[in-house]
């Protein structure tokens, strides 16, 4: 009855010991990096009160704990750079130092995901793609990170700070980097050595991140200190080092505190002064490397607390033997501590090395000092001690009294691979553990797995191990298999919860979380405590779902989508998942299917919470792919109507502009004449000379920019209504390629002003205007792709990710097009639409009647006509012999709201492609506002008239007399529904350290990722076209977020930054 009951479905987590990948970033070669990370966690899903879509009265408001309701879930490196590099026998000042470390080079931002609302201490980072970018812009390294558990060693690092708990925490994450691509590594001994080691031994790289000093007020930034090295075999994937020092079984020194120290006011037990420290010993070099990145406490300012001099050491003989001090004191108070990754390297003597083969590594502290109040620089000063901890002595200086702060346990038990999982009914997951003693495998030791608490809910025993005990093998390995034995049902039973003074005891939360502790008789002390855990397996069992054969919206899809809509408000700006009309728009259907079929480790995977069971995911995909239609009963009609958005209230209805224009343009009260235009129309249009030339050479010289004056244009022959045919000297394949590249620049130059105005619309306002600008942007992106196909077909190489090809604002359009038009970035207003958006799209000639045309000089249409004429002139000269050399691009989805991107194979398809671009921009003719021969069916209005409807506040309709007039339904515009964005936002206008700076940098990072992905697509990776479209959605998320941030003291808001470079 249930196929999964007969199939042995298992997650392939069991690996042979010789194939397990480790995290040996501790060894040499190694590079380290520091900076900030934006942890934009979403908080609506942190509270069970917010899950019931049928009871909105339960939802906790932002002031009640939903402190980041519009969180994107992103985990983004922010001003992170390489700060140190250690290679074998190489200079310390490596050439790679100072390079930027980014984690969204050409991908959306990584996502941080909780396993469950009831277990937020099992967060993971998905979709992290890391790159090192040199100071000259060259990429040195690209790689993809495996899923990274982020809070496996979380603890209260900022001790005794009585502010918000999240800000006090510190954590460590470890994983490997795969799919490694090396770029420009010239002059970097570290990267050259890493490349050699990974290539010769088919190894991955390992990476660690230490995250602390999280700021929960506004910016959501934290400090990140990390390291990258070579990944070796025989060490667990997510645990640093092959050995570990902990505070367990250590009586850390009792440090008396002065009355002005925050710790003196703390209630309860003060956490340990030093936490855990993983380490590695290189047996060949006798080099000890210890990672203190997540080990030392900070004060309320986030700087390290001074706990006196501390050393590494190893004890000689029995417990009361002397301590062999290893090297100098640990320099944790030096200013470059984070810059070196908080990693300490020491060369061992032969005696020290031999002792460490069978004895624990220690961190010891001078026994004659204690912490009192902070000194002026915030590190704390030192005084005398009253500790009862055992006093030990240095083997070299018996007068030096020492006390142990950290000690390596005799046995170290941890998973070798993933230990967090998600399972359906009757699925299994196998977790492999490794037991070592002082770095060596321990065999024939019994390991026990016991179930921990079931948070909030029943049933117990929903997941059980097939065996609770087993023995380790020769490699110290033992495996346990866990199976979902019970059907977990909704709603989840929870502890009594207060939701806005309403008490609930159940909530519609997917599945149930189960915990399992692992231990041996020698590792019982590693049980989870208040300072973090390294030995808890956490598995989420999904709710049982009987998949329907014919899923429908009301019964099956909407309940799931509506809950996501409620829990993740950040999506509201571009889709309401609980709204059938919005979900079934062609563009949204395509994007939802794409997001639900990418790999679960992809940052675009939907749902971002990863809490949708495979069965439910399969059901939704079935519904999406079969042209969904609602199945409504009479009683359900009202529910559907209630889910539809209400029409925005029209607050702005006036016949005159209030900000500069005296009246509506005359075209708003006149009509266009629709006439048949014969095939010779465009030829005649471009050869007439009866209107005086209005463009002077002096005007054109003002817009000169290197590479932007189009090669097919001949100065001196441009007339108001005419461009002469290109001569043989100017029309050749090289000149055509140059002008096609300018066309790519030109098309992309229209996107920032359009999107800026679109992003400025407040959610739920000016909905119709938002949609029409969005459709124009999509067509402009298609035009750019179409031109790139033509360029590829004639043997050119399209470029987009280069400062040379990206415009700046305010400024002119590329190619000398519309030289008198100054393109600005402004919030939506009818004035801005009229002066800039319509100005960009203006046809060469538009007519209110057939006898009195209005003429505009040097338009986009003229620009493309030059290309079209040149292609005609080159007919028969085999300019398309390269059309098969490189794969051309197609728009990833067919949809009625866009045209088709043609594959250009010959003269005919090239002419058709250019004609389609012209039709969509300026219309079929001066007398026909439709898109004419466009591949869109039925025809839509050309862009110019689309924007003009916004200005005229009426739809342009064809009346009974055959005229196009602005007397259709209203096009409402509500100026109160627009964010008050500061015009022409730029990087130089934003002070660092502000909320505006953080949001604008996030937008800029998404923008650059889009450019890089587009360039990758242009270079032949056409499969990346879907990801490019998905990145447009990421861009929209950050565009809307930055618009909402007020610039303090100005009355204006921030805006998106479109500069090519930020640094």
pLDDT tens for 987-1041 read 988 988 899 999 999 999 999 999 999 999 999 999 899 999 999 999 999 999 9
Structure tokens at 866: 């030059």
The per-residue pLDDT for 254 is 61
Structure tokens at 45: 């899903």
The yes-or-no verdict on residue 617 having pLDDT over 90 is yes
Instruction: Write the secondary structure of 726-767 as one string of H (helix), E (strand) and C (coil).
Output: CCCCCCCHHHHHHHHHHHHHHHHHCHHHHHHHHHCECCCCCH
Q: Mean per-residue pLDDT for 801-809?
A: 93
Backbone angles phi, psi at 858, to 5 degrees: 55, 55
Tell me how far apart the alpha carbons of residues 526 and 413 are, in angstroms, rounded to a whole number: 9
| Percentage of residues of the chain with pLDDT beyond 90 | 48
Q: Strand, helix or coil at 837?
A: helix
The per-residue pLDDT for 1050 is 87
| pLDDT category of residue 263 using cuts at 50, 70 and 90 | low
More confident residue, 708 or 590: 590
What is the number of other CB atoms lying within 10 angstroms of the CB of residue 679?
6
List C-alpha distances in Å: 522 to 101, 355, 412, 729, 1013: 41, 21, 9, 87, 52
Q: Mean per-residue pLDDT for 538-553?
A: 93
Q: Mean per-residue pLDDT for 692-704?
A: 36
The per-residue pLDDT for 637 is 38
Q: Which of 470-479, 528-537, 838-847 has the lowest mean pLDDT?
A: 528-537
More confident residue, 194 or 942: 194
The yes-or-no verdict on residue 539 having pLDDT over 50 is yes
Structure tokens at 611: 């809490």
The per-residue pLDDT for 457 is 52
The per-residue pLDDT for 862 is 87
Q: Which of 255-269, 799-813, 1042-1056 has the lowest mean pLDDT?
A: 255-269
Q: Which of 464-478, 641-655, 668-682, 848-862 has the lowest mean pLDDT?
A: 641-655
Nearest in space to 360 (alpha carbons), one of 294, 415, 406, 293: 406
Structure tokens at 760: 């400025």
Q: Mean per-residue pLDDT for 191-203?
A: 89
The yes-or-no verdict on residue 885 having pLDDT over 80 is no
The per-residue pLDDT for 396 is 87
The per-residue pLDDT for 896 is 58
The yes-or-no verdict on residue 669 having pLDDT over 60 is yes
Q: Residue 668: CB partners within 8 Å, gap ≥ 6? A: 948, 951, 952, 953, 954, 966
Tell me how far apart the alpha carbons of residues 127 and 125 are, in angstroms, rounded to a whole number: 7
The yes-or-no verdict on residue 274 having pLDDT over 70 is yes
Q: Mean per-residue pLDDT for 100-127?
A: 89
What is the number of other CB atoms lying within 10 angstroms of the CB of residue 317?
10
The per-residue pLDDT for 727 is 40
Tell me how far apart the alpha carbons of residues 538 and 542 are, in angstroms, rounded to a whole number: 13
| pLDDT category of residue 654 using cuts at 50, 70 and 90 | very low
| pLDDT category of residue 454 using cuts at 50, 70 and 90 | low
The per-residue pLDDT for 266 is 55
What are 39-68's pLDDT values in tens digits?
998 888 888 899 998 888 888 887 666 788
The yes-or-no verdict on residue 232 having pLDDT over 50 is yes
What is the number of other CB atoms lying within 10 angstroms of the CB of residue 692?
9
What is the number of other CB atoms lying within 10 angstroms of the CB of residue 978?
20
Chain CA centroid to CA 590, Å: 20
More confident residue, 176 or 849: 176
Q: Mean per-residue pLDDT for 596-604?
A: 90
The yes-or-no verdict on residue 144 having pLDDT over 60 is yes
What is the number of other CB atoms lying within 10 angstroms of the CB of residue 285?
14
The per-residue pLDDT for 847 is 52
The per-residue pLDDT for 722 is 35
| pLDDT category of residue 2 using cuts at 50, 70 and 90 | very low
What are 381-395's pLDDT values in tens digits?
333 344 456 788 888
| Percentage of residues of the chain with pLDDT beyond 70 | 78
Q: Mean per-residue pLDDT for 523-537?
A: 53
| pLDDT category of residue 506 using cuts at 50, 70 and 90 | confident
Q: Mean per-residue pLDDT for 850-861?
A: 65
Q: Are 1001 and 1062 in contact (CB under 8 A)?
A: yes
| pLDDT category of residue 268 using cuts at 50, 70 and 90 | very low
Q: Are 869 and 736 in contact (CB under 8 A)?
A: no
Q: Mean per-residue pLDDT for 937-959?
A: 80
The yes-or-no verdict on residue 253 having pLDDT over 80 is no
Please, what is the average pLDDT of the chain?
81
The yes-or-no verdict on residue 858 having pLDDT over 70 is yes
Q: Mean per-residue pLDDT for 264-292?
A: 82
pTM for the whole structure: 0.84
Q: Are 174 and 240 in contact (CB under 8 A)?
A: yes
The per-residue pLDDT for 628 is 64
What are 319-373's pLDDT values in tens digits?
568 999 999 999 999 999 999 999 999 999 999 999 999 999 999 998 754 444 4
Nearest in space to 26 (alpha carbons), one of 233, 287, 236: 287
């Amino acid at each position: 009855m249930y196929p999964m009951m007969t199939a042995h479905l298992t997650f392939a987590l069991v690996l042979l010991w010789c194939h397990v990948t480790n995290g040996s970033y501790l060894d040499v070669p190694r590079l380290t990096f520091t900076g900030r990370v934006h942890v934009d966690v979403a908080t609506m899903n942190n509270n069970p009160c917010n899950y019931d879509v049928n009871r909105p009265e339960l939802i906790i408001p932002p002031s009640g704990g939903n402190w980041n309701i519009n969180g994107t879930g992103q985990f983004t490196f922010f001003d992170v750079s390489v700060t140190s590099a250690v290679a074998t026998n190489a200079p310390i000042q490596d050439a790679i130092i100072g390079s930027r470390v980014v984690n969204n080079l050409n991908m959306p931002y990584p996502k941080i995901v909780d396993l469950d609302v009831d277990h937020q201490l099992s967060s993971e980072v998905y979709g992290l793609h890391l790159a090192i970018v040199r100071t000259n812009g060259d990429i040195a390294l690209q790689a993809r990170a495996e899923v990274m558990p982020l809070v496996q060693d979380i603890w209260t690092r900022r001790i005794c700070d009585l502010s918000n708990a999240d800000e006090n925490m510190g954590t460590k994450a470890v994983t490997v980097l795969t799919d490694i691509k090396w770029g420009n590594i010239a002059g970097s001994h570290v990267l050259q050595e890493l490349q050699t080691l990974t290539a010769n031994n088919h190894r991955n790289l390992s990476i660690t991140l230490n995250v602390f000093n999280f700021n929960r007020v506004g910016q959501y930034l934290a400090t990140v200190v990390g390291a990258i090295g070579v990944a070796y075999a025989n060490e667990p994937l997510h645990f640093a080092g092959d050995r570990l020092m902990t505070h367990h079984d250590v009586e850390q020194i009792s440090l008396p505190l002065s009355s002005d120290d925050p710790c003196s006011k703390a209630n309860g037990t003060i956490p340990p002064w030093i936490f855990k420290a993983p380490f590695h010993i290189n047996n060949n070099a006798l080099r000890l490397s210890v990672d203190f990145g997540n080990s030392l406490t900070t004060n309320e300012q986030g700087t390290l607390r001074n706990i006196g001099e501390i050393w590494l050491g190893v004890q000689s003989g029995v417990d009361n033997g002397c301590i062999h001090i290893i090297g100098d004191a640990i320099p944790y108070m030096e200013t470059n501590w984070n810059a070196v990754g908080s990693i300490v390297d020491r060369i061992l003597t032969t005696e020290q090395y031999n002792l460490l083969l069978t004895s624990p590594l220690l961190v010891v502290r001078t026994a004659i000092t204690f912490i009192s109040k902070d000194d002026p620089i915030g590190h704390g000063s030192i005084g005398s001690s009253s500790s009862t901890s055992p006093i030990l002595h240095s083997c070299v200086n018996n007068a030096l009294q020492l006390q142990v702060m950290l000690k390596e346990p005799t046995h170290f038990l941890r998973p070798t691979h993933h230990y967090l999982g998600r399972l359906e009914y009757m699925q299994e997951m196998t977790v492999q553990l490794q037991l070592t003693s002082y770095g060596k495998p321990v065999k024939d030791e019994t390991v026990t797995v016991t179930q921990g608490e079931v948070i909030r809910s029943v049933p117990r025993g929903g997941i059980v191990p097939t065996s609770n005990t087993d023995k380790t093998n020769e490699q110290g390995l033992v495996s346990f298999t866990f199976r979902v034995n019970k059907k977990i049902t909704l709603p989840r039973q929870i502890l009594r919860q207060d939701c806005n003074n309403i008490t609930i005891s159940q909530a519609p939360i997917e599945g149930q979380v189960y915990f399992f502790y692992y231990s041996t008789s020698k590792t019982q002390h590693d049980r989870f405590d208040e300072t973090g855990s390294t030995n808890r397996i956490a598995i989420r069992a999904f709710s049982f779902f009987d998949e329907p054969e014919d899923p429908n919206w009301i019964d099956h899809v909407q309940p799931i989508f509506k809950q996501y809509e409620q829990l993740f408000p950040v999506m509201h700006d571009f889709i309401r998942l609980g709204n059938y009309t919005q979900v079934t728009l062609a563009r949204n259907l395509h994007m939802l299917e794409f997001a639900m079929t990418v790999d679960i480790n992809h940052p675009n995977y939907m749902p971002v919470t990863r809490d949708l069971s495979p069965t439910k995911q399969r059901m939704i995909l079935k519904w999406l792919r079969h042209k969904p239609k609602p199945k409504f009963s009479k009683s359900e009609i009202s529910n559907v109507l209630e889910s539809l958005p209400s029409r925005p209230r029209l607050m702005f209805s006036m016949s005159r502009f209030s900000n500069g224009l005296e009246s509506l343009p005359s075209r708003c009260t006149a009509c266009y004449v629709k006439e048949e235009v014969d095939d010779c129309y465009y030829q005649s249009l471009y050869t007439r000379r009866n209107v005086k030339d209005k463009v002077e050479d002096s005007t054109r010289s003002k817009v000169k920019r290197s590479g932007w004056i189009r090669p097919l244009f001949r100065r001196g022959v441009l007339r108001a209504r005419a461009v002469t045919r290109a001569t043989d000297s100017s029309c050749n394949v090289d000149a055509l390629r140059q002008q096609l590249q300018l066309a790519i620049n030109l098309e992309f130059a229209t996107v920032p002003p359009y999107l800026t105005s679109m992003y400025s619309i407040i959610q739920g306002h000016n909905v119709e205007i938002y949609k029409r600008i969005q459709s124009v942007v999509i067509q402009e992106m298609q035009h750019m792709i179409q031109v790139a196909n033509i360029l590829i077909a004639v043997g050119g190489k399209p470029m987009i990710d280069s400062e040379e090809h990206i415009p700046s604002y305010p400024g002119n359009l590329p190619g000398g097009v519309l030289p008198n038009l100054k393109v600005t970035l402004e919030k939506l207003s009818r004035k801005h639409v009229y002066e800039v958006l319509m100005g960009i799209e203006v046809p060469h000639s538009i007519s209110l009647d057939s006898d009195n045309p209005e003429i505009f000089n040097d338009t986009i249409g003229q620009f493309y006509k030059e290309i079209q004429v040149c292609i005609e002139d080159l007919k028969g000269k085999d300019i398309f012999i390269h059309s098969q050399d490189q794969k051309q691009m197609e728009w990833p989805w067919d949809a009625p709201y866009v045209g088709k991107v043609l594959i250009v194979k010959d003269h005919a398809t090239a002419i058709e492609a250019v004609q389609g671009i012209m039709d969509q921009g300026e219309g079929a003719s001066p007398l026909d506002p439709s898109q004419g021969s466009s591949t869109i069916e039925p025809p839509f209005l050309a862009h110019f008239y689309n924007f003009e409807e916004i200005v005229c506040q009426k739809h342009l309709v064809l009346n009974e007399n055959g005229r196009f007039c602005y007397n259709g339904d209203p096009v409402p515009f509500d100026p109160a529904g627009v964010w008050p964005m500061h015009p022409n936002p730029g990087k130089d206008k934003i002070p660092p350290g502000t909320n505006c700076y953080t949001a604008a940098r996030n937008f800029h990072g998404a923008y650059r990722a889009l450019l890089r992905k587009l360039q990758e697509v242009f270079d032949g990776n056409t499969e990346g076209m879907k990801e490019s479209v998905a990145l447009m959605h990421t861009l929209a998320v950050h565009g809307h977020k930055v618009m909402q941030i007020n610039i303090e003291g100005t009355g204006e808001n921030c805006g998106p930054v479109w500069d090519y470079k930020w640094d």
